[in-house]
Structure formats: structure tokens, C-alpha cells
Amino acid sequence: MTIDHAYECGEGWRPMVTKLDEKLRTLSPRYEIQQIKEKFGTLRFYAKYVAEDGASPLTREIFYDLIVAAEANSSTVCEECGRSAYLRKDLGWFKTLCAECYVKRKPRKTTASGAMDVAPWEDR
Ligand SMILES: [Zn+2]
């Protein structure tokens, strides 16, 4: 499967995933992408390493290490726009978003006085 067929995440992660794919191809040109999705707010990249003839067993370790590192890094990259971000846990679901995308997503309740609730960093 190609990236485009497997890709189910927001566009903000696409450059990171494309770079990961390039690195994985150099280690395992025939590797198989199974699924690329978001789970609990971070990237899940499911792929199967295919050893080339004479490949060192270490190559397989590096292959999966690169995936783990990219998945961990996804919690610092906005899934929607690619800017610096962190994992938000107060939206009712988990999502890695920058401040701007977070504010857009966050539902704002109107208080009794008619004032809008402020985002957590705005009331300090
Ligand atoms: Zn963003």
C-alpha cells in the first residue's frame, strides 16, 4: 500500500510521515505499509519490514526504531497544520494541536454573565 492509500491523519503530519517513508525505503525498499492513523492523539504507523538479501539484523531494529521515534515526535507537531504543538486532553478526545487549531476546536461555553469562557492560558 502507498502512503496515500494508507494515510488517515490530518495534513499537518504528512511531511513527517513522508520523511519517515523515505528513510524506511532506504532500509527496506520493499517494506509494506499497513495503516497510518491517529490514535489517542498521536501517530500510529503500521508497517512490515521486508529484509533484503544479506541485510544485517540491525537494519530491522533501526527500521522499527524510526517508526517509534516518529510516533513519539507526533505529539509535538500539530496534526492539522504542522506547527509546534502538544497533546491536548481536554477536548473530550485526545488530539495534538497548536494553540491556534486548539482554540478553533475548543467549544466555548457562555457563562451566566454572558462572557465567553477563556482558554486555559488566557485567564492568567
Ligand atoms: Zn495547528
Structural domain span for residue 17? 1-124
pLDDT at 123: 45
Span from the CA of 114 to the centroid of ligand 1 (angstroms): 28
Number of domains in the chain: 1
Q: How far apart are CA 42 and CA 76, in angstroms?
A: 9
Span from the CA of 10 to the centroid of ligand 1 (angstroms): 10
Long-range Cβ pairs for the range 20-23 (8 Å, 24+):
20/45, 20/66, 20/67, 20/70, 23/66
pTM of the model: 0.84
Span from the CA of 60 to the centroid of ligand 1 (angstroms): 33
Those residues whose C-beta lies under 8 Å from the C-beta of residue 109, and which sit 6 or more positions away, are 116, 117
Span from the CA of 65 to the centroid of ligand 1 (angstroms): 26
pLDDT at 124: 40
pLDDT in tens, the chain (124 residues): 888 899 999 999 999 999 999 999 999 999 999 999 999 999 999 999 999 999 999 999 999 999 999 999 999 999 999 999 999 999 999 999 999 999 998 876 656 665 555 555 554 4
Q: How far apart are CA 103 and CA 107, in angstroms?
A: 8
What cell was used for 45?
A: 504507523
Span from the CA of 85 to the centroid of ligand 1 (angstroms): 7
